[in-house]
Each structure stands twice: as C-alpha cells, then as structure tokens.
Structure 1
C-alpha cells in the first residue's frame, strides 16, 4: 500500500501575498532624496492602512516631518503582554527606476514567468507584502501570537531615513513603547552552497550587523586666478591629490564576530578555506556567487569618492573645490577611520559629514534566533541559519538607538543561480513567486513561536 502524504494547504496569507506584493509595487514610491520630488509614500501608506483596517486593526498614520512622508503602525496583542513586543518593520519607498531600461514597466507589478517584477520587489515590498499578509491573517482568524507584534511601515529609508525612521525615533518614541526586538530587511534569504560530502546546504543569512554609513564632504581652498598663469595654490589640484590618496587607500583587515561566524560556517559546510588572511581569499569568496560582493566588503572600511565639483569657467582657477566620498565603516572603527582619513587628505583639505549613520552589531544567539532557525528548518530541512554583516544599512540603525535588538530576517528560498545581490536597485528587479510563498510560511511559523 502506498504511503499517504497529506497535501500542503496554503494559508490565507500564503494565498494573498503575491497579489499584495504586486499591488504594492504599483505604487510609485520613488525616493529621489529630494522631498520636493519624492512621491507616492502617502498613497501607499494609506492603502496599507486600509488593508489592515479591513480586518479589524486600529492603525496609526503619521507623517514624519514632511508632507506626504507617510508611516503606518499597527499592534496585535499577544498572549503574554508582560513580554517585550516584537516589531516587524518595512519601508515603503524605493529608489527611482528608468522604464526604458526594463523588460517590463518597473511599476507594473507584473506576475510573469514565476516572478513578481518591479521596483521594490526585493527592496523591500516583498517583505512588506509578507508582513501585511501575515498581519491580515492573524487578525482575521483571531490568531493570538505569544507576545505583542508591532507592524511598522515607514518612509524614506532609501535616503537615510531622515524623514522616516530617524524622525520617528526622535519625535514619536511612544510608537515604539515596549518593543525589545525587531526584524527587518536584507536577511533570511537563501544561499545554496556545495557540501564537502557532495550534497548541498542552503544557508539562510540572518543580518546581525551592518556597517556605518557616512557621506563625507572634502573641501579645498586656494587662490583664484587666471588660468594662463603659473599657480601653486590651485584648489582643484589640492583636492584631486587628496581624493586620489583616499580613494586608492586600502583600509586594514578587521573581522567582526558576525563575519567570522559566517566564514567559519561556510568553511565547515564546504571544506573550502575561507580564512580572510589567505592570499586567495577573493578567489575563494567568488565561489559563493553574488553574495561574495557583500561579504568581501565587510572585511574593511571603505571610502569611495563619488562626486567632484569645482570651477565655473575654463580659464578661471576656482577658489574652492569639493568632493563627496561614500564611507562605509565597520562597527567600532569610526575614530580610527576618521584619523586615517585626516592623515590621507592632509592639512590643506577640510572634511565634514553630510550624513552619518552609526554601525550596528548584535550577537547571533537567544530565543529569537532559535525561533528563526526552527522556522526555517520546519519548512526547509536542508536549511541552516547563519549570521552575516550587511555592507550597506537599514532602518535598524535608528531603531537600535531606542535599545531595540535588531535583525534582518525576510525569509526567501531562492533559486541557486539567481544573482540576488544584483537585483537590489538593479534593472529588472524581481522576486520569485514561490520564494514569497515560502517566506510567508516561514514568517507565520516564526511569529507563532517567537
């Protein structure tokens, strides 16, 4: 007699997550970095609030310091209200997209070829849709989680959160009352690695750390004059020499706990040598696929010049020249980083921070981490959760200032050959339909056991 295997019955959340993500993408919430031209957040936030209110939530809508910068909060009471609440947070804004470059319109939310397509599909309307689907199911079916859950849908992450999470933390800390832990983006996705025994292991990367972000302005001043004269105090020359020294500098190797744990797990499973001191570490990292770009960028601080500005006429030597440098700084390295920059640029160039956001790191342990791992294993026996550091940043930087312990955990089981890292801010951004359904199942399990 054949053994009977019961068929998986999708939950309400799993059934509607794809449509929710598609509808979220149709809101053009492009964040240009300029409040005057950024659009769509209010309309998207109001739509999110309506989806929550439809199933019985009381929502709080807040505009964070600028008209139209919409944020929505909803709380679901848990069984033990004496415990600290868990927040799920997702941003509604996306980076701009040029339709002419895409295979489909970037704000179509098209569901084709097994993917949901559009700007924000992985950054991060996929998780927003999963949050919304699970929140709706729990409320509609009177499911009570172990502790309070706070669902936060926020603005302006793509421009550093000045008119989003940072404003909210500073001006509306009441919205975060009782929250002790949080999960957000850029974690929980799968990375398929070959095992030393010939099989495969899917790592699910949980973000436990992220580098600090700083946009630094360098300024050199000289003596204005005619372009035909000999000139030893040329601001452009002074600045360009400083920028060249900084841009070509290699900062020292510093391996944080999160990076060390990831490398150790990768070595254990694959049998490859992921020792960062190895002369062939870059070649070994390349065997990880697209994630190698992120992992490799977490070994060191970086300072990449991105913009130059000087002069107004070809035959006039300007008095001032400026450069912008994108700085990504490892946890605990800010003071040493600034000291090194000062040495490299020299005394004739000044610097100031246009934007400066702290680094963050937490340990990969505790009940919440155990719940993440159990949720992954319940739906993927080949899975293993491992910590890693994000080379970029998220809204967790702001929430951590309130003492909230933050992780990146937006679970997706991805095809092994998908260049996932390239989809962030890339052309033809898309997320697999089955990955969304898998992630929703994992998220439900996780929230019911956290």
Structure 2
C-alpha cells in the first residue's frame, strides 16, 4: 500500500482527522474533518430543486454545528464551487444580538474564508518530469505585500488526488526571508499530477500558491546535459518568434519505402517535420519550415565564416548526405561508421543565443522511416536526437533517454531527463505559469 493510500485509510478511522474534500486541506493544526451534507433519502427524490436546496442547507448547518461542539473544523463541498475554490469553513459563531435583540444568522459554512490580505506564496518544482518514486524539491517564498512574512510561517505541499487536495509530508518552516524548500517523492503519481503549496495558520489557510504539474517519464529526471549553454532566442519583443528551418534531400536513404522518388521524399519530409514538431512541443518554441531547397550543412568555420549560406532566412537546416559528388558534407566520415548523424549549432558572439543550427544525416545507413519501436531504430528517432543537439542539448549517461549517444531502438518518446533539459533550453515560463522552473527567470514572451 502506498503512503498516500495509507494516510487516506488512517484518516478515515479518526473522528477529527479526515482527508479534505476537494481542495480545502488543512495543516499546522488538526486535520480537517471530512463531513459532507447527507444525501437526500428516497422520500425527497423528485421534490422541486428549491425544497432540496433548503433541506440540504439545513442539514449542512446541523452537521457543522454538531462537529463544532467537539472542536473539529469542517470541510464542506458545494456543487456550485470548483474544486480549487473549496475552502475550510470555521465553526458557526454563537448568535449575536443586535440592539433590538433580533437574532443574526451565523456565517454560512459554505462560503470560503478570504485569505489574509497581502500574504502570498510562490511555488515551483526543480523538475517537471520525473520517474516513479523519484525525489524532487519544491521551492518558493512566503511574503506579505512583497516583504518577507515576519511571523513564523510554514509551507505545506498538497497533491490533487481525484477531487481532493491531500497533504504531502509535514509543514516546513520558512527561513527568515520567507524562502522554503519542500522535499517530495513522486509516489502515487498519475501520468500528470497537480500540486500546490499552502500556508497554514491556526486552523486556517493564509495563502495558496498556483497549481503546478509533475509528469511521469522514463529514466532519471536529472539525466540531461547542456551543449555549451546556448539556446534559441525564443522571443521577438513580447511575442514568441518563428524559428525557420529548412531541409535538404540530396540523398535518399535505402530504408525509405515508396512507389517512386516523390513518395520517398514526401516520407522523408514527414519524418523531419514530425521530429521538429516533437522538439517544439517539448520546448515551447515555434518552428516554421521554409520551402527553399537548402545547401547541405558543412563543418562551420570560425568568426564570420561560421555562418553558412542557408536560404529563405532558415536558421536550422537538416540535410541528408552520402558523400557522393552531389551530396557531400565535411561533417560525415569517409566511410560509414556507427554514427547516423551529426547535429550542433553556432553562437558567433557568445551571447548565449544560437545563430544557426545544423544537422547532417548519413543517408548510407539503412533505417526505417517513421517513428516507432524498431529493431534498428528509425530516422525520426535519429532526427529528434540531432535537432535537440542543434538546439542546445548534449549526451546524458542514462540509456533510457533519447539523447543518449547510443539510442535504444525501442524508445519512442523523450525521457524524463530529455524533457527537463529541453524545458531549460526552450521557452521559459513566467513565475505564474504551472510550468515554471525553480531558479530560471521566465522569458518576456512566455
């Protein structure tokens, strides 16, 4: 049984410690009781909506008042509220009396309690993609109107489980400047799981961070390396800019099937476009193909000679070559070796942004077209690997990553390390994005 399932079972057996109902989890004090309005019995089924609503509200208040006697805060859900807006309800206060002794109704327990003015909490994980049962860390800062929260504050990580927000671990005290670090393990994760951080205080929640997601992928999530530190400039002012790429099909590899040369060329273009699309999805960058037939990339020179005569404004060119008279590249070995391709980039002035990227594929290799699990690997796998080089990633030491120097033919998706690396060289989300990465400043156009 997982720890989360165990916590849920234990909570169900304690009268004052039950899992919250859909998003109002409590920390720093007794856990919230899971008390929901009783379901209407058969004799009220079919009664008008107004009568059902009145009966439900009366029963909800009775439940809240009864639990208040034993001092258990109650979490109440209402179908009209979104899961992320459900809030902890305080026990009803004793009826107050006005000057004319008229009774004043207690606060409606279904209404959310407003957060303390000015208190905010930020939160971001160090990695968005992890393998099962892997450790990751969530960091952020608790502040009050921009300044560090001066009272002793704690941060608590919560995980969305179905319609509920479930505490993960114990609250961690923030440092004097309001910063905190919450360790976590990717247990009980679905394909994609939402998390948030709350600031508990005396049975209430002072602040709640924006949600962020953690996704499962293969291999070690730390298994990525950067190639020199440069990346594509993602922005043109406040807009995501187009990175233009071109293709050279001077040589058709023997593995491509087709009725004629036109069909084979169409399949090759589809593989290149598919690989670039996978790169775009993982990085958030925008790539657009230019139709010009490009020159085959060569070994770049130095200084001004480093830039190659790509056409149509292309910044990235993917070419197939076989070292024949019409399809030669100085990036290919004289004889066919184990390497099926070469990918890299040029940063001429060292500003950290790529000026040109280039990929050369050795068309003398016999690989299948398409992108699938294959005995020998496929061209689209190779192209994905090489365009990631041309965008700023190097080789990791984890064979479960597509960027490993010896690609496993069975791999059909990016691994966890690949995806974390591609996020770092791609469009970096701003602080209010669920994809924000701890320690990286967001791009202006994100």
Normalising by the smaller structure, the TM-score range is under 0.3
- What's the TM-score, normalizing by structure 2? 0.23
- What's the TM-score, normalizing by structure 1? 0.23
Relative contact order: is structure 1 or structure 2 higher (C-alpha 8 Å, sep ≥ 6)? Answer: 1
